[in-house]
Amino acid sequence: MSVEVSEATLANIKLLLRVTILFSIAAAAVSSRLFSVVRFESIIHEFDPWFNFRATKYLVSHSYYEFLNWFDDKTWYPLGRVTGGTLYPGLMVTAGSIWHGLRKIGLPVDIRNICVMLAPAFSGVTAYFTYLFTAEIKDKSAGLLAAAFMGIAPGYISRSVAGSYDNEAIAITLLMTTFYFWIKASKEGSVFWAAWAAGFYFYMVSAWGGYVFITNLIPLHVFILILMGRYSHKLYTAYSTWYAIGTLASMQIPFVGFLPIRSNDHMAALGVFGLIQIVCFGEYIRSKVPSNKFKSVLFVSVILIILLGIAGLVSLTYAGLIAPWTGRFYSLWDTNYAKIHIPIIASVSEHQPTAWPSFFFDTQFLIWLFPAGIFLLFQELRNEHIFVIAYSVLCSYFAGVMVRLMLTLTPIICVSAAVAVSKLFDVYLDFSDYLKEDKTEKPKDDKKSIFDILSKFAVVGTFVFYLYLFVFHCTWVTSNAYSSPSVVLATKAPDGSQQLIDDYREAYYWLRMNTPEDAKVAAWWDYGYQIGGMADRTTLVDNNTWNNTHIATVGKAMCSNEEVAYKVLKQHDVDYVLIIFGGMLGFSGDDLNKFLWMIRIAQGIWPDEVKERSFFTERGEYKVGREATQTMKDSLLYKMSYHRFVDVHMRSGRPAVDRVRSQVISEEPELNVVEEAFTSENWLVRIYKVKDLDNAGRDLREASSFERQAAAGIKKRTAKRPALDIRE
Amino acid sequence: MKLLTVVLVLYAGFCLAITNERLLKLQERSGGSFIKLTKSNFNEVLAGPRNATIITLLTATNPEIGCSTCQNIAPAFEQLVDSWSLDHPDGDGLFFARADLAEGHPDIFQALRLNNVPKLYVYGPTNDSTPLTEGFEVWNVPQSIDFVDHVVATIAEKLGKRVDLHQPVQWGSIAITVGSVMLFLWLLQNYSRYFILLITSKTLWGGFAVFLILIFTTGYMFNNIRGMPFIMQDDKGLPKYFVQGQQQQLGIETQVISAIYGMLALSVVFLVIKAPGLADARVRFGIVLYLLGLNIVLFSVFLSIFQFKSSGYPFHLLNIWSPK
Amino acid sequence: MRLLTLLLCIVSTVVCFVPPQTWENVVVSRAVDLSKSYVLEEYALQVRNIDSKPNGVYYFAVPNFMYEKISTVSVIQGKDAFKPLEYEFVEQSSDSANGPVVNYIKIQTPPVAPKSTLLVTVVLTVTNVLEPLPAKIGITEQQSLLFSSFKKSLSAYHTKKSLLKLKGITEAKELNEADGIKGEATSKALVYEMEDISPFESSPLSLLYRHLKPLMKVNKLKRGIWVSHWGDSLQFVEEYQTTNEAAGLESGFSRADYMMNKEIVTSSHAALALELEMEDGAFDVYYTDLVGNVSTSLALSDKIFIRPRFPIYGGWHYNFTVGWTNKLGNYLKKVGDDEYTVKVPLLNGIPGTSLDDVEVSVYLPEGSQVVGVESDIPPESEEVGYELSYFDLGNGHTRVTLHYSNLIDSVKQLSILVKYKYGFREFMTKPLNVAKYVFIALLAYLALSKVDITLKAKK
């Protein structure tokens, strides 16, 4: 029975097992993100990734400096966008470097495939760093569990499936990496690790606006530790190194520039940096001056300095030297702020608050293991545990306020749930007592071991079953909810087979093929990046949303009557107007459902011309059918959406029911200033050409009514009698 | 005779026309910034002629009527009229009036032949002696958008008057805050030993952190931001604790779910910390089984609730209880 | 008449050429096929030598407006396809008095004795001559095409009898009947019969006819053929840039009208689907365009039916890519020590279309050397270069690129033959290289993992 195994061999076996497990976790993480590629194709998803993809293509076909100086005149017409200076280049540079690197070793992979596969590949890396991080928090076995959780938790998969080529794809990896190195640095007081943390912090800054989270969380950790009286020179070394290198490095990113010393978002880090210098000085003095009174002097002076600092901050903010909180950041604290002041931020679906089912949906049983893990960490409460706790509480709040921040919460849920499960397994999976050979001390009662074995099996069995269920849950959620590219929609045909609805690409490709290359397309900002990426045409507004007025202009054109809209469109040189209409197909995310936001945003700029109220019926309802208000029926978007909608239904004898809003459209709207140029197969995308000014100087309404009459006249003539000569 | 008629007419006009001073007085008598319409004054206030515009809210906040909109807009209306009268103590030609069925006086509603509330009737200035059933304009009372913003915008548009909204100063809460701070400081001074014990207690902080996490991960902020009702009624008038839909929830759901999460977490914590330390093997076994059973039952119930919320979710454990 | 022509030539100082009057056309039978998007003209010439000595050169006249648009020419003796005759294009043209500018194709016939006759068949394909009239129509209207040509067979010689058969047309209508020559409609064709036509006499023909098919045209085709010895495969990649040259839409495209008139639009001038030919036994077929995969296609073993993302109406463009793979065995032949020939089809393509610009690239394995290239049709240019592809660490795949212009789909029977040298050493370079780099990477990892970066206090 007893096989003597040396310590070294055991360590090697353990290492081998660990490596195997980690590789399998990485493989599982990557493959569970490939549903969309298998089911659809290797395609860039959603909206923002299309811009990132376009920028990456620009980067690999130009030099890096050209990329940084890229002025894009195909967006925000006629303003253009200083793209190179207003983006986080980390993602594109990563993909570009991989592209170049692979070419160097004889693998000229298409840049699209690199972009598509970037997120899954990085998720494998994330799993590995989650393992390292958790190993620092508890031990290696907890690390393996955390890595497995992180690999397949839907909360992270939601933003990292193949094709979702967005900043978050690499940002979560960098987040975990930075935190790991920070924990390592603060534990060991090592400049080396702190420099690594700063390096990855820099990478994070270059990749995602969410770096502010790190900028505030690490100082918070340090601040709490100081408050708890856990200041040490290790902490001082780690934080000072990280802050100095990290801040200087982050200022190299053009989009960030001097923000780290001029914006309120970054002031906490600066403040803590100052504080830790003072505390360090104080410690030094105290070690030299053994006096009790000194303590209170120190205490008072610290309080004074903090107060002074805050006062200085406030006055500098008022003086305009320091930028106040950014809107997005501010809306996290004052939850009504965005709704009132920045409708553009409030209109984005991923900025909505999170209802509880989403939490469970994204993490399954980890969500209730999460508080258990946190509570268990309190039992020990080492310095790094405080970091985890601060992260958890802060991020739970953020994730509750904004759906998209679920993403930053998921890693810490995985970590602390892994701690809980691992502690449980430490207790109940430990059968070493029964395997011991020496029977020197026979237990007094046999029942003890039987009862204990039973309870151990019960607990372990239950939790292994939970884990099993978790895997099924994750697979199901990933496959059903998070694997649609949203550019292509899938439906079930009557015979149960899958059918693809490819209207977006149909219309974008039509634009690309059959319109002049310098045509300007007006569409709601959601589709700006896609039009730029797929149709390759100039857009007025896009998902970058940096210019509210410009967006409001498009909103105004959509919600005004034809005359006003025509003026707006002509003033902005618009050739085509593109809208999304789901009424034929039953697709609810269409422009008429986003209409209220267009109106609200336009009203923000032109309160006298656009009034949200006039789009609501007397009873305050949003109606498109017979009861729709006149303003609604006159609006350009309404007319473009329902143009010829009634006709088609009349022909087949069905009532013209809008399948999204379940209302009957009774009359055909009259459209004068634009002309239908293209409509996709399921009417999802409709493109209208803005008519030229009339030759005879008539307004377009007169002109088209003349044409209509003329056309009607021809029909009559052929049917009945020769037309009368008008001249007497 | 002719002269007399003229005089009479003038006199009548003078006498019947309600002046702004009179309106102010009535408003004062109503004890605030708007006129409470009663059986005795409504005819006088609302019938013409008059120099001022009177915005009249006809509402019924008594619970037996069950008009939720009426209840919802009540504080908003008060904020609106308070803001106006604060900036315009003399009324400035615009007065607010309110008839609430909860205060009695059904005569007003009968006189106006109203059978559904809330209504917003606006009586403009007039020289004619119109009865109260004529000469008003009906403004719609929005249900889907904010009442105050809507009325302020309509006033600006139709009457050309700007209303600057003031958030009402809540003296009560200020007093409570100041009081509790004082109490806290006093306690701090006298019982600092206990206080230090308290703020250095791991369990306390742990509990607090876990509590925060529990409420945040169960949609507390969702309720706050969206202003979700705590509980709803179904068609039969029975209370409804859960609403369907993954993006929807009620206030009470946060409490139920956080309690379930809490107990699930607690069972794990006890399994890890407490159970192994128990001396007696049988007790230990019993406690472990109890905690485990509790965990399984709660998780089963929870999964049923989740299945109810998100239709089409395929996984469940035991079928013990599920919301209808 | 001839004198007059000569005189005109002298006067007009244009470099001018008039063939010697050594022939007489006994019968010129011209059949024009109008069913495709290009025009196929077949001339059966029965010619007699009226000179006193044997003659072996016949000048075939082609009006200049047609000459510029000729895609392919083939000349055979009699009707036997295996007796091709040599021909060349004559640089000079002649300016006839009342007719068009005339160009010539100089045909080398076998020597014909005086008074003997010879039968020669000339087949021309002419592209870009059909135009829709009216140029813009409504979505439910039917398209008419205008075919502008000449009625009497134009020749430098006297013609006794001329026949013109117009095939593949429906509801034909002649627009300009000034010359009074009426055609006779048979079940298959519209036939004009004319006699005694003097040299250079011509009469214009403007024929309007119904054509309920699109006029697909390939503006540019980039065809890549990848030869892989390791994979034993021949991969085809074809990038098309197409335009439908049919009548455009009067107003914008109305989906409502399109849906309400399904029967009309399915057989109209819009291209709703395209058929593409592939090599027999093709597998791994794909159909994509610039925005990704297109799911609407049906692949058989030798053809693929593709549905474009949108119906292609007149004047609309559609670019797409189709690719497939075949086994290399049927195309590759070992001809000597380390020497191979690969014979690939010049074109697969869309039946019934013409192609303006075609670029065929054959990619040979890395390290191979091109020995010779043969093409059934002479290419406009030919170059050898390199292209980096997967696992290429040296120069890359050897690439032979041939340019052609103005082709039609029927040249797909023709092929390109590339002879190249590819030795065993080159064959083994690739796996050895890969092994080398993997080994280096492993060594580097091992070396790096030995570096100790832990911090220890100095003792």
Q: 3-state SS string over C398-423? A: EEEEEEEEEEEHHHHHCEEEEEEECC
Read off the pLDDT of each residue in B211-217 and give the average, rounded to a whole number: 94
Give the pLDDT confidence score for residue B117 in this predicted structure. 74
Which two three-digit tokens encode residue C73?
Answer: 């020419």
Give the pLDDT confidence score for residue A448 in this predicted structure. 58
Domain match, B243 and B143 both: no
Q: Does B143 touch chain A (CB under 8 A)?
A: yes
Strands laid side by side in the A576-580 sheet: A538-539, A520-522, A576-580, A685-690, A674-679
Q: Which residues of A touch C316 (CB under 8 A)?
A: 510, 513-514
Contact C366, C397 (CB under 8 A): yes
Contact: A513, C295; criterion CB under 8 Å: no
Domain match, B96 and B38 both: yes
Q: Is residue B145 domain-resident?
A: yes
Q: Is residue C352 domain-resident?
A: yes
Give the pLDDT confidence score for residue A333 in this predicted structure. 67
CA distance C271 to chain A (A): 14
Alpha-carbon distance of A596 to A23, in angstroms, equals 49
Q: Is residue B169 domain-resident?
A: no
Give the pLDDT confidence score for residue A727 in this predicted structure. 32
Residue B53 identity (one-letter amino acid): T
Which residues of chain C have a pLDDT value below 50?
A: 1-14, 459
CA distance C178 to chain A (A): 31
**Domain boundary pick from C159, C187, C210:** C210
Write out the residues of chain C at the interface with chain A, using a CB-CB cutoff of 8 A. Answer: 251-257, 259-260, 289-295, 309-310, 315-319, 388-393, 433-434, 437, 453, 455
Which two three-digit tokens encode residue C70?
Answer: 């000729």
Contact: A680, C255; criterion CB under 8 Å: yes
Cross-strand pairs, B188: none
Contact: B206, A445; criterion CB under 8 Å: no
Q: What is the pLDDT of residues C251-310, one digit of tens each?
A: 889 999 998 888 888 888 899 999 999 989 999 999 999 888 888 888 888 889 999 999
Pick among A225, A227, A335, A356 to test the B interface (most B CBs inside 10 A): A356
Alpha-carbon distance of A90 to A204, in angstroms, equals 7
Q: Is residue C459 domain-resident?
A: no
The CATH number of the domain holding residue B139 is 3.40.30.10
Give the pLDDT confidence score for residue B75 in this predicted structure. 77
Encode burial over A139-171: b for 16+ CB neighbours within 10 A, e otherwise: eebbbbbbbbbbbbbbbbbbbbbbbbbbbbbbb
pLDDT at residue A276 greater than cutoff 60: yes
ω into residue B239 within 30 of 0, thus cis?
Answer: no
Residue of chain A whose Cα is closest to the Cα of C286: A41
Instruction: Please report, for residues A475, B247, B307, the alpha-carbon distance to residue A357 in angstroms, rounded to integers and kept in the order given.
Output: 17, 7, 10
In 3-state terms chain C splits into helix, strand, coil percentages (rounded to 5) of 15, 50, 35
Domain match, C200 and C293 both: no
Instruction: Give the number of other Cβ atoms within 10 Å of residue A428's Cβ.
Output: 23
Alpha-carbon distance of C44 to C161, in angstroms, equals 12
Q: Which residues of A touch C254 (CB under 8 A)?
A: 644, 676, 679
Contact: B221, A619; criterion CB under 8 Å: no
Q: Which domain covers residue C12, as residue numbers?
A: 2-210
- Of the listed ranges A373-377, A448-452, A710-714, the least confidently predicted one is A710-714
pLDDT over 90 percentage in chain A: 55
Read off the pLDDT of each residue in B220-230 and give the average, rounded to a whole number: 85
Q: Is residue B224 domain-resident?
A: yes
CA distance A381 to chain C (A): 25
Contacts of the segment B89-92: beta carbons below 8 A, 24+ positions apart:
B90/B20, B90/B24, B91/B20, B91/B23, B91/B24, B91/B27, B91/B52, B92/B161
CA distance A355 to chain B (A): 5
Domain borders along chain A are 1-165+354-427, 167-323, 503-711
Q: Is residue B127 domain-resident?
A: yes
Q: Which residues of A touch C433 (CB under 8 A)?
A: 106
Contact: A513, C317; criterion CB under 8 Å: yes
- Chain-centre distance for alpha carbon A24: 27
Alpha-carbon distance of A185 to A237, in angstroms, equals 8
Q: Check residue C84 and report its DSSP letter.
A: B
Residue of chain A whose Cα is closest to the Cα of C314: A514
Q: Which chain A residues in 551-590 lie under 8 Å from chain C, judged by CB atoms?
A: none
Which segments of B81-165 are extended strands (E)?
A: 94-100, 119-123, 136-139
Q: Over chain A, what is the mean pLDDT?
A: 87
Instruction: Please report, for residues A442, A463, B268, the alpha-carbon distance to residue B297 in angstroms, rounded to integers and kept in the order given.
Output: 38, 14, 14
Domain match, B128 and B208 both: no
- Number of CB pairs, chain A paired with chain B, less than 8 A apart: 178
pLDDT at residue A290 greater than cutoff 70: no
Domain match, C222 and C200 both: no
- Of the listed ranges A540-549, B64-73, C250-259, C363-372, the least confidently predicted one is B64-73
Alpha-carbon distance of C185 to A662, in angstroms, equals 58
Which chains, if any, share at least 3 CB pairs under 8 A with chain C? A
Alpha-carbon distance of B300 to A664, in angstroms, equals 44
Read off the pLDDT of each residue in A659-668 and give the average, rounded to a whole number: 89
Strands A657-658 and A663-664: antiparallel
φ and ψ of A348, to 5 deg = -80, 130
Question: What element of type H or E holds A301?
Answer: helix A292-319
pLDDT at residue A414 greater than cutoff 60: yes
Q: What angle do CA C121, C125, C130 make, to 5 degrees?
A: 135
Q: Is residue B194 domain-resident?
A: no
Domain match, B151 and B205 both: no
Instruction: Give the number of other Cβ atoms within 10 Å of residue C35's Cβ.
Output: 13
Cross-strand pairs, A491: A499
Domain match, B114 and B231 both: no
Alpha-carbon distance of A132 to B215, in angstroms, equals 30
The number of C-alpha atoms within 13 Å of C368 and in the hemisphere containing its C-beta is: 29
Contact: A106, C393; criterion CB under 8 Å: yes
Q: Confidence class of residue B107 from pLDDT cuts 50, 70 and 90?
A: confident
Alpha-carbon distance of C396 to C415, in angstroms, equals 25
Question: What element of type H or E holds A68?
Answer: helix A64-68
pLDDT at residue B14 greater than cutoff 50: no
Q: Is A99 helix (H, G, I), strand (E, B) or coil?
A: helix
ω into residue C431 within 30 of 0, thus cis?
Answer: no
Helices A446-481 & A406-428 angle (0-180, nearest 10): 160
H helix and E strand count, chain A: 33, 9
Q: Is residue B76 domain-resident?
A: yes
Residue of chain C whose Cα is closest to the Cα of A189: C455
Q: Does A668 touch chain C (CB under 8 A)?
A: no
Q: Which residue has the tokens 């006890």?
A: B270
Which segments of chain B are extended strands (E)?
A: 35-36, 53-59, 94-100, 119-123, 136-139, 232-233, 239-240
pLDDT at residue A331 greater than cutoff 70: no
Domain match, B210 and B96 both: no
Residue of chain C whose Cα is closest to the Cα of A39: C295
Contact: A396, B213; criterion CB under 8 Å: yes
Q: Is residue C202 domain-resident?
A: yes
CA distance A331 to chain C (A): 37
Q: What is the pLDDT of residues A211-243, one digit of tens each?
A: 999 999 999 999 999 988 899 999 999 999 999
φ and ψ of A575, to 5 deg = -100, -40
Alpha-carbon distance of B150 to A612, in angstroms, equals 10
Q: Which chain B residues in 81-140 lie under 8 Å from chain A, judged by CB atoms?
A: 140
Contact: C290, A644; criterion CB under 8 Å: no
Alpha-carbon distance of A545 to A380, in angstroms, equals 47
pTM equals 0.84
Instruction: Please report, for residues A32, A125, A214, A262, A561, the alpha-carbon distance to residue A479 in angstroms, rounded to integers and kept in the order given.
Output: 8, 22, 31, 44, 44
Q: What is the pLDDT of residues B164-190, one digit of tens each?
A: 777 766 777 888 889 988 998 888 788
The CATH number of the domain holding residue C167 is 2.60.40.3680
CA distance C56 to chain A (A): 52
Read off the pLDDT of each residue in A317-321 and give the average, rounded to a whole number: 74
- Give chain B's domain count: 2
Identity of the residue in A360, A462, A613 whose CB atom sits nearest the CB atom of B153: A613
Contact: C289, A679; criterion CB under 8 Å: no
Of B254 and B149, the structure prediction assigns the larger pLDDT to: B254
Domain match, C199 and C221 both: no
- Of the listed ranges A26-40, A460-474, A602-616, B14-28, the least confidently predicted one is B14-28
Q: Is residue C442 domain-resident?
A: no
Identity of the residue in B254, B269, B284 whose CB atom sits nearest the CB atom of A372: B269
Which two three-digit tokens encode residue A553?
Answer: 């202009």
Q: Confidence class of residue A326 from pLDDT cuts 50, 70 and 90?
A: low
Q: Is A337 helix (H, G, I), strand (E, B) or coil?
A: helix
Q: Is residue B170 domain-resident?
A: no
Domain match, C279 and C132 both: no
The CATH number of the domain holding residue C254 is 2.60.40.1730
Q: Is A541 helix (H, G, I), strand (E, B) or coil?
A: coil
Domain match, C274 and C334 both: yes
Which two three-digit tokens encode residue A10?
Answer: 């055991």
Q: Is C186 helix (H, G, I), strand (E, B) or coil?
A: coil
- Of the listed ranges A344-348, B247-251, B263-267, C209-213, the least confidently predicted one is A344-348
Identity of the residue in C255, C295, C392 whose CB atom sits nearest the CB atom of A502: C295
Q: Does A650 touch chain C (CB under 8 A)?
A: no
Residue C68 identity (one-letter amino acid): E
Give the pLDDT confidence score for residue A325 in this predicted structure. 64
Q: Is residue C146 domain-resident?
A: yes
DSSP C293-330: E---EEE-SSEEEE--SS-B-BT-EEEEEEEEEEESTT
Q: Is residue B219 domain-resident?
A: yes
Query: What is the domain class of A503-711 according to CATH?
Result: alpha beta
Residue of chain A whose Cα is closest to the Cα of B138: A618
Contact A582, A641 (CB under 8 A): no
Contact A566, A690 (CB under 8 A): yes
Q: Which residues of A touch C391 (CB under 8 A)?
A: 106-107
Which two three-digit tokens encode residue A687?
Answer: 């493109």
Pick among A227, A368, A398 to test the B interface (most B CBs inside 10 A): A368
ipTM for the whole complex: 0.90
Alpha-carbon distance of C294 to C309, in angstroms, equals 7
pLDDT at residue A587 greater than cutoff 70: yes
Q: Confidence class of residue A298 from pLDDT cuts 50, 70 and 90?
A: confident
pLDDT at residue B2 greater than cutoff 60: no
Q: Which residues of A touch C309 (CB under 8 A)?
A: 502, 505-506, 509-510
- Number of CB pairs, chain A paired with chain C, less than 8 A apart: 91
Residue of chain A whose Cα is closest to the Cα of B282: A451
Pick among C310, C433, C440 to test the A interface (most A CBs inside 10 A): C310
Alpha-carbon distance of A468 to B303, in angstroms, equals 15
Which chains, if any, share at least 3 CB pairs under 8 A with chain B? A
- Give chain C's domain count: 2
Q: Which domain covers residue B21, as residue numbers?
A: 2-158
Residue of chain A whose Cα is closest to the Cα of C435: A105
Give the pLDDT confidence score for residue B235 in this predicted structure. 76
Contacts of A666 (CB under 8 A, 6+ apart): A625, A626, A646, A656
Q: Does B17 touch chain A (CB under 8 A)?
A: no
Residue of chain A whose Cα is closest to the Cα of C260: A648
Q: What is the pLDDT of residues A110-169, one digit of tens each?
A: 999 999 999 999 999 999 999 999 999 999 999 999 999 999 999 999 999 999 999 999
pLDDT at residue B145 greater than cutoff 60: no
Q: Confidence class of residue A338 from pLDDT cuts 50, 70 and 90?
A: low
Alpha-carbon distance of B72 to A550, in angstroms, equals 36
Domain match, C388 and C357 both: yes
Residues composing chain C:
459
Contact: C295, A500; criterion CB under 8 Å: yes
Instruction: Give the number of other Cβ atoms within 10 Å of residue A114's Cβ.
Output: 20
Strands A520-522 and C170-174: unpaired
Alpha-carbon distance of A229 to A220, in angstroms, equals 14
Alpha-carbon distance of A11 to A6, in angstroms, equals 9
DSSP A553-590: HHHHHHHS-HHHHHHHHHHTT--EEEEE--TTTT-SSS
pLDDT at residue A340 greater than cutoff 70: no
